[in-house]
Structure formats: structure tokens, C-alpha cells
Chains A and B, each alone.
Chain A
Amino acid sequence: MEFHTKTKGAGSSSPDLSMALLPGPTLDPTWRLVEEGFTLSREHEIESIFTVSNGYAGVRGSLPEGSALSAPATFLAGVFDANPESGFPHELVILPDWTMGRLLIDSVPLMLQEGRVLEHRRILDLKQGVFWREWRHRDPAGHTFSYRLLRFASLADRHLLLQSILLTTENYTGRVCLESHIKAPAPYPRDSTLEVVAPAVWIGPYWTLQALPDQNKQRLVRGITSQGTTIAVALAHEVITRAGTHLESELEPVADGFIERWRWEQGLGETVRLTRVAVVCTSREAKNPEKAAMQHVEHIFREGFTRMADAHVEAWRDRWETADITVAGDEQAQRTLRFAIYHLVGAGNPNDERASIGARGLTGKAYRGHVFWDTEIYLLPFYAFTHPPTARALLMYRYHTLPAAAKKARGLNYDGALYAWESTDTGEETTPLSALGPTGQMTNILTGVQEHHISADIAYAVWQYWRITDDDEFFLRAGAEIVLRTARFWASRSKLEADGRYHIRGIIGPDEYHETVDDNAYTNVMAQWNLQRGVETIDLLRTRWPEPWRSLSERLELTEEEPDHWRRAAEKMAIGFDPRTRLFEQFAGYFDLAEIDLSQYAGGTIPIDLALGRERTQASKVLKQADVVAFCVLFRDQFPRDILEANFRYYEPRTAHGSSLSPAFHALMAARLGDLPLAEQYFRQAADIDLSNTMGNAAGGVHIAALGGLWQAAVFGFAGLQIREDGLLFEPNLPRSWSALSFTVQWRSRTLAVMINRDPRRIQLTHCAGDRLTVGVVNGPTRVLQQGLKYIAEWERHAERWSVSPG
């Protein structure tokens, strides 16, 4: 590792970049999000959007020196703790803020809101996975300095979090101090109150905040969760000045932790590099996490920060190679998709089977890290097609939480496995039973008791993953058991009634505006599918893997009668389909409900159930999200087009999109139906969920499922990817503003590069790696491709058909 300092002349306007760990932010505007200036009220949104994460930890894009609205947080995936103060039993662990660092020039703290901001921008560098901050400032006393920060959560070494600042004193020579206050993290907001209580000093129940001095200048912060997980954060700092590199720090114990200070003399125009690393280890992956963390820090110092930074950038480069989507002709859509992919990559960890992805990923406190059905339905396809090990890890989390799912089913007098609506590390149900609503009334929360489709959703994801990856080892080890135990649940949940049909009563579908309904179409169709796959799984195991089958069937005590029961239940499931109208009824009695003209509320941004009131909403056809459209999306390749069309046209005008999941799936379906203006409109709406600067939606974290939905809208919607047993088909329909779309997918250990042109309509499929596979266009010619060969199809406008180019 090289340590060096350079002195620049007075009046320099930027730090000496030769000292930087990385050359600089990516310049291509489609690879970066930039927040110029500073809008205090947006701070929480910006922090969420500018989070750096690696699936193990996520660090919000907070300012090191803080502001009146700073909410710094570093989240640790998969580690939860009980908080007796909260209405929620388990919350994702937040680490003490290792990014905090206040600079004092001549004893005056540098604050963005004091003095004159000469230049300030934050850049989320999507390509390199780096948060940058460029700041030039004149404090009230006239000290002028420039500052460049980079921060990353290493994708190459997921335990490593790093922040490095280059500070140049442009017109000052004298004392500079860096002050870091390590204290217990800010708590999650108290739940269910519309009143602000006097701010209390929160004493973390589990953090041990002594700084343990170490000969290598490390500090160790240790925490123990109520469930006994030890978390160790080893902190180390390096201040490179002209005078030397190993500055002694002063340590001041304070009531809520400790303050560490580094002081040095900085010359006129001199640049100093301040680097802090935090290495996080837990007892989940290390027997002695404290020792492991500290040794890891030593390793990092031996290797050098530059090498760590390079490895991180290299890991992102590798990840983008399989994950990137390029859009020609629409810079905003391009940036939106890369923003989505960036956060999706940062949310998943292929190495951790005990963690899944919460509703806000690792970017914010909202939802407290709780995991919902979103992960399997909205996120998993991205991972399965771009990074199967991450998809597998997510499904293994569900496998490991099967005991809790079985317990929940038993608790409600059902068989099999009923997954928690809100899941944390154990998989036990963590949905509260009531909560205060916006107008101050206490409302019963029924989702934890009545929203059961999640079990089928997880089975669906298992099956999709298996189809996409051919990962038999996973299927035999975990996937089959999930499918069987969830099928068993549906067999007990559905009841044969006098009409000869199986019914599921007292249920909530994804459209949570309507509670305690009978035969929710989404639930019943998914249950039917789950039962069918249960039967298919048994047949497959029996014939292809008799030994594993014997073992599994014994362990699950599967009876001979069960497959027949499942088959009957699936065949006779009430799914509310009317062959005359081609419509599915969202739930029994839905068609009799009152119509509400949603166009009266067009342009409104408030949840419709708030505008109409809960009772009126429940008595109407207004939908939070269209359950029928949702399963039409999932089974888009099985339903005839006229069914997709009829149901989309019926439900779309009745959907208020009170769920952030809804717009992206509507974009996908509109694209599949060729309604490109509508598809574009919904795509933009989905993009605005996090990126609009006037809604504040992202303050509690990015909507990771909506981002997964955007990826699906592009790949399954606009590119029209369809999975076949022997390969992949496409039905491209690009929006008018997109001239081309290209991306790569993984399919059963093969890599296929897809390039689609809008006008002339053309598709090129390149088999980049792996065994041969069948590719083609829907309703057009298919070909079996060997590695290295291309499939090129062009649309003959006059003949209205695809023709394949030779070769």
C-alpha cells in the first residue's frame, strides 16, 4: 500500500485526486443519479435512494457531518432484534453509525447549512456501486475547502464498508480535526402513534459501545441481539497527511458511546485523505466475530484500500455484465432501469441462506426489514435470470423458515406450511393485529391471519427458479419440500362444498381493500396451481429420484390419498371464471359491488381508500391492485390472449394502484397486449415511485419490489420473454421512445444475449455460453442455437410475420 501526500497551491478548487482510491465517478449520465445542491426536506429520500449496499449490509447516503434531517443507518441483512418499545416484535438490526465524521477547521465545524455552499452534489454511481459527494464550501469565517467523498459497501468483500474523504484546505493553513461520535443507532420510530412524544434518549438494549483499544488502532463495537446473535464492528481509520500516516487519535468516553478525534496541521492547498473502514461480522458466520472482524481489518490494511476499492468495482463490473439492460433512445428509462438493477443487486446476497429481502431492501427503516410475498413474485425473476445463486439463497431462506410456516398453519388449524405474511429471521408471523390509521382510528390488521396466497407465491417462485436454472440439487434438497408442504396447506385450506367445488373462504388477496372475501381469484388460482405442482412433484420424484422421494415422503408422512385429494381439489377449485365473458371474478360477489368512476380521481395522489373511506371502498369495485391482472402476469404464457385482454381491460380502469406493486405489472401486461402508450405510462408511474422529487415516497427506503417489477416490465413485457421447456421465446413490443433494448439472461447454465430493435422490428439472440438451447419469437420460427451462434429474426411488416435471417 502506498501512502503519499501532495501539496497544491493556494486557490485550488478541487482535491488532489491522485490520492483518491478510485479515479472518480462514472461520467455517463445513464449510469448515475445526481442530486445537485441541498434540499433539506428531501434528505430522507436522498439517503434512501443513494444507499450503497451489498446484500449483507446497506448504508444510507447520509451526510457524515449530519443535518437537521439526517437519518443515517447501516442495516445488517437477516439479523433482527426484539424491541419491546415497538409495536413490531422484530426489527432489522441497525449498526452504530460508522460513517459519522465531523470536520472542524480552526475549531469551526463544517456544516452544509452554515456559510456559503460553492458547490455541492451527491452522485450515485450505479456502475461502480459508489456513493460520491463533491462539495466546495466557504464557512462563515471564510475558510474555503473542497471535499470529495466516496463510500461503498464492497460487493467483493461483503463484510467491508469503506468511506474515504479527500479534504483540501484552499485558503487556510492550520489545525484540522476529524471527530467521530460512535453511539447507539437511532431507534425505529415508535409505531402506531400520530403524536410526537418528547424525544427520549434511546439506550440500545444490545450495543456495547466501549471502544476497545488495539495496537493496530482499531476500535471494536460489539452488539448482542436478544436472540443471542453477536455483531462485531471493527472500525479503523487512516488519516494521510503530509506529516505522516499514523495519527494518534484521542478517545473520549461519553454517556452514549465514545468520541474519537484526530488532529493535524494542514498546509495551504494541501489535500488530506481520511479513510474509515468498518468490518462487520456476526456469530451467524463466525465463531468469534470480534476476532474475525479485527483480523479482517488487518487484512484490509495489508492489502491496501486501493486494492479493496478496485476489487469492489471489479465485482460490480462482473455483476453488470449479466444484469445490465440497455435502452437506446430514452435516457430516463435507461437510468431508471439501471437504478432498479443497482438496488436489486445491492439487496441480494448469494452467500446467505438465512436472509431474505425486506420491502425496502437495505435502504430504509420503513417495514423494519420485514419480508413479504414481494420477494418471490417481484424480485426473484431478476435474480433467477441474472444471478441464480442469489435466487437460490432467497429460496433457501424460505426453506429454513418452513418450521415456522408449519407452526403458523397448525395454529390456524391447517395442515402443511403457511408462510408468515411478514417474516423476519425465524419465519414466524410478525404482522401486528391492529394499527392506528391516518385519521387516528385503530384499525384491525387482518393480513397476518387472512392473506395466505404467500404460500403459493413461494411455491411458484421455487418452481420458476427450478425451471429457469435446472437446479435439481436445490429442488431435491429444498424446493420439492416447499412445494409439497404448501400444496398440503391448500388441500386443508380449501373445502369441498355442496356445489361440488372447492372453496377458500374468509381470505384476503393482494387487493387488500377487500378483506374476508370468499374465493379470491388470485388466491384460488395460485392454490390450484400449487396443488397441481404438488401432484407433479410427487410424480417426478417417484419416477426420477426414487431415493430422495422415499426419504422425503417418509419425513413428511405423505399418505397415498393425498395426491388424489390435491388433484381433485385443483380440478374443482372455484376460480370464478366465466367462459362467456372470459372474465375472472376477483372474488365471489365482486361483480355485484358498486362502481366508482376512478376518472374523477385522476391525477390525484392520495390513496383512494382514504378519499372514499374504508367502508365505501370495501363496498365498491375499486381495487388496490388487480389480483386478476397479477395472476394473468404470472401465467401470461398459459392464458390465451383474449382472456388476458378481457381481464386487463375490465380491471385496469377499476384499479386505483394504491399498491406500489401495481403499476409495474400493469406496464408489463399492457406491453404484452401491445398497448404501448399505456405500458409506457405505467412504466413511468412505477419509476416515479422512488425517483419523483415531490412525493417523498422513498423517505423510508426504496420500494424494492417496484424496482423488481420494472425489470420484469422491461424483460417480460417489452421484450416479451417467455419460458419454454427447451428454451426461451420472445415477443418484443418496444415503446415508441425506445429504439432498442438489449440485455442478457441466464438460462440453465447458458447465457443468452438479447438485442431488440423497434424500427425496423428485429431481434437478435446470441448464444454466449453453455449447451445448445431453443430460441425464437412467439408465433414465429424457432431455432436450436449452439454456443457462439446468433438467431436473427426480422418482422415483415406487409406479411405480418417474423422471418429468420440465414445463419
Chain B
Amino acid sequence: MIRSQGQSQSSPISEAGRTRTILIPLDGSLRATAAWPVATALAKLVEATSHIIHVTTEPLTPEGLLHRIKLSPEQISGSIVEQLQGRPAEVIVRQAKDRSSLFIVMCTSAETEPPCEGLGNVVCEVLQTASCPVVLVDPARHRGPWKLQRLLFPCDGSPTSKTAVGAAADMAHRARAELVVLHVAAIQAKEPGSLAAPRYVDQPQHEWPVWVTEFLARIRALGHPPEDVPIRLVVGAGDIGQTIIETGSRLESDLIVLACRGLLDPTRAEIVRTVLSRAPCPILISHIEGGS
């Protein structure tokens, strides 16, 4: 259903009881449509309705809106499409909040805006202010179908980051996908209860299996992933962002889930930006609270 601004708000899709939506901002560029296959697959996975918004100052007819967002009626069948006015980032974030969107799915940058270290300004603002997770898709991605078979979840070993595994595991559960937890042995988290790569490996034949078991036990206890989700732990070393990218490529991951505290703050910004700029697959970024 296509709804232009000012039209009735009585769409059955938006009524109470249909709160699971995924928000897909499309700026009218061809680049932006790269997010569409990912968004529709995610919507199907989480049983949500795709909700496309286009922010513009120019009133468009339904046909004009379709033409602008460069998607065919067949492609958007079953989706909500709206045009809205205002500052794009503000509108996107507000809409996601008002509609309790599960995710915002969008491209990392639009054609029309200057890049901000690989990210568009709108994306940067959305990342910093959105109350729901944001899935970012490289505009260069092919427009073919996207299927979630393997999620990569980088985890620094802190309780907070382990708690965040739940959402990723839930997606893995729905998709019957494999969840790969990546621990990059680099920085010691300062949060009490953190479990970093073992500082002392007296006998590797004992230490590593014990450590892996402990790491996964904490993930299961804190993140409550569904029991049937297979979780594999991969340990890497070196530059964190680079290791995430390399592991994502090596394992042919379909989605990297970054749970970030203080998103884009100076300490975490480098890692996130590195991953965002060169990730081999879409990235889901969620805010987590607490910890260090």
C-alpha cells in the first residue's frame, strides 16, 4: 500500500497489533535500493512489515513516488510506502521510534551527499540517534536476493556485549543460521565479569578448551540465545576492525552484528568506521548500554 503524506492514517497495516515494522529510508537514488533485498529478507525473517519512507519537500503522486524510489509495484507489494517532509535523519529516527520499528535498513551513503569517512551524513546522524538497530548495506552490493545463513557477532568479552548476543541469536534462530561469535584478543574490557582471551596459557591443550567453554557458557547465560542455535567461537588477534572484516570475508558471513556502546564515540569510532567502510556484507549496529 502506498500512502502519501496527508492521506488517511487508518491503514490497517499501521493499526495496533501490527507493530513489527522495518523502516527502509530511500532517498530516490539508485544506490539506496541496494538496501531493499536485505530489508525484505529481514522483514520476512522477523515477520515484520516493510515500511519505506522517502523524505522530500516535493509532493509526489503515488506513481511519482514509486518512480522516485526506483522500485516496481511488484517489488513493494505488501509494503507501506510514505513520503514525508523534514530533515531526513530526524524524520527517519522519529518514524522508527513512532512505529516501534525493529530495524532501520538503509545504505551506508547516498549518492547526493558528501561521504563522511565512508558514511553519509544522514546515516551518521541516524546511527547516533536511532533508538532501534540500524542495518547498513553497501550501495555497491548487487541487487540479488539476500539470505541469512551466517551471522558474525564480534564480542569483547564483557558482560554487556555478551548480553547483546540475544538479538543476534534470535535472528539466527529464525533463519536457522549459524551464529559465529568473534572475539578479537586485543583490549581488556574493564567491566567486572569480563572474560578476555586468557592472559596465561600454561598448557594450551587445557586452557583453550576451558576458555572457549567458559566464554560460550557466559554468552548463553547472559544473552539467553535459543538453545538450538549453534554458536561457534572464533578467536582472532590484531587490529579489531580489520579482523572483523577479514573474518567476515573468510567465513562468508551474511551479516555482521556490531553491538556498540556510545556509538561512534572516539574510542569505538575507529573500529566501527573501519568495519563500515569495508565490510563484506551488511552490518547491523545496535546500541548497548552499560559497561566500559
- List A residues at the B interface (Cβ < 8 Å): 39-42, 44, 68-69, 71, 87, 189-196, 198-199, 359, 365-368, 370, 372, 422, 431-432, 435-440, 443, 445, 447, 512, 604-607, 609-611, 657-661, 689, 693-697, 699-700, 703
Contacts and interface: CB of A to CB of B under 8 A. Distances in A.
Given A191-B209, A194-B212, A695 B188 contact: yes
26 contacts: A39-B193, A40-B193, A44-B214, A87-B205, A189-B210, A191-B205, A191-B209, A192-B209, A196-B216, A196-B230, A196-B231, A196-B232, A199-B227, A366-B206, A422-B203, A432-B205, A438-B208, A438-B212, A447-B203, A604-B188, A607-B198, A610-B185, A660-B202, A661-B202, A696-B193, A699-B195
Interface in B174-203: 185-186, 188-203
B156 to A, nearest CB: 11
A781 B54 CA distance: 92
A271 B162 CA distance: 40
A437 B208 contact: yes
A696 B195 contact: yes
Interface string B205-237: 111111111101110111000011011111111
Contacts of B227: 198-199
Given A367-B210, A436-B209, A703-B200, 10 more contacts: A41-B193, A196-B220, A359-B202, A435-B209, A438-B208, A439-B234, A439-B236, A443-B204, A609-B201, A610-B201
A220 to B, nearest CB: 32
> Nearest 3 pairs between A and B by C-beta?
A41-B193, A696-B195, A435-B205
B209 A699 contact: no
Contact of B200 (A71, A447, A689): A689
Contact of B192 (A42, A366, A440): A42
A694 B194 contact: yes
Nearest to B159: A41
Interface centre among B192, B207, B228, B232, by most A CB within 10 Å?
Answer: B207
Contacts of B211: 438
B198 A611 contact: no
Contact of A660 (B200, B216, B235): B200
Contacts of A659: 200-202
B199 A695 contact: yes
Contact of B196 (A69, A87, A605, A661): A605
A69 B218 contact: yes
Contacts of B159: 39-41
Contact of A696 (B194, B204, B205): B194
B6 to A, nearest CB: 49
Contact of A658 (B185, B200, B221): B200
Given A40-B222, A438-B197, A694-B191, A606 B205 contact: no
Contacts of B238: 611
Given A189-B210, A196-B230, A610-B235, A694 B202 contact: no
A42 B158 CA distance: 11
Contact of A435 (B202, B204, B220): B204
B130 to A, nearest CB: 28
B236 to A, nearest CB: 7
Nearest to B238: A611
Contacts of A68: 220-222
Given A191-B209, A659-B202, A69 B237 contact: no
Interface string B80-120: 00000000000000000000000000000000000000000
Contact of A605 (B162, B188, B230): B188
Contacts of A196: 216, 220, 230-232
A196 B196 CA distance: 19
Interface in B49-93: none
B193 A611 contact: no
B150 to A, nearest CB: 13
Contacts of B220: 68, 196
A445 B232 contact: no
Contacts of B162: 41
Contacts of A695: 188, 194-196, 199
A392 B165 CA distance: 51
A473 to B, nearest CB: 35
Contacts of B157: 696
**How extensive is the interface on chain B, given as a class?**
35 or more
A660 B206 CA distance: 14
Nearest to B197: A606
A137 B189 CA distance: 31
Contacts of B206: 359, 366-368, 370
Contacts of B207: 366
Nearest to B207: A366
Contacts of A657: 200
Contacts of B234: 194, 439-440
B202 to A, nearest CB: 5
Interface in B145-166: 157, 159, 162
A405 to B, nearest CB: 19
A694 B214 contact: no
A194 B232 contact: yes
A439 B200 contact: no
A333 B227 CA distance: 44
Contact of A607 (B186, B199, B205): B199
A278 B217 CA distance: 29
A769 B198 CA distance: 45
Given A440-B234, A605-B197, A610-B197, A69 B203 contact: no
Contacts of A41: 159, 162, 193-195, 218, 221-222
Contacts of B198: 607, 697
A199 B205 CA distance: 22
Contacts of A605: 188, 196-197, 199
Contacts of A69: 217-218, 221
B218 A694 contact: no
Contacts of A193: 209, 212
A195 to B, nearest CB: 5
A660 B222 CA distance: 28
Contact of B237 (A359, A611, A658, A693): A611
Contacts of B232: 194-196
A696 B186 CA distance: 15
A699 B217 CA distance: 11
Contact of B205 (A71, A194, A445, A699): A445
Given A438-B208, A439-B234, A693 B185 contact: no
A372 B189 contact: no
A694 B188 contact: yes
A611 B157 CA distance: 17
Contact of A39 (B190, B192, B236, B237): B192
Contacts of B190: 694
B155 to A, nearest CB: 12
B237 A606 contact: yes
Given A195-B232, A199-B227, A699 B214 contact: yes
B227 to A, nearest CB: 7
Given A660-B200, A699-B214, A693 B192 contact: yes
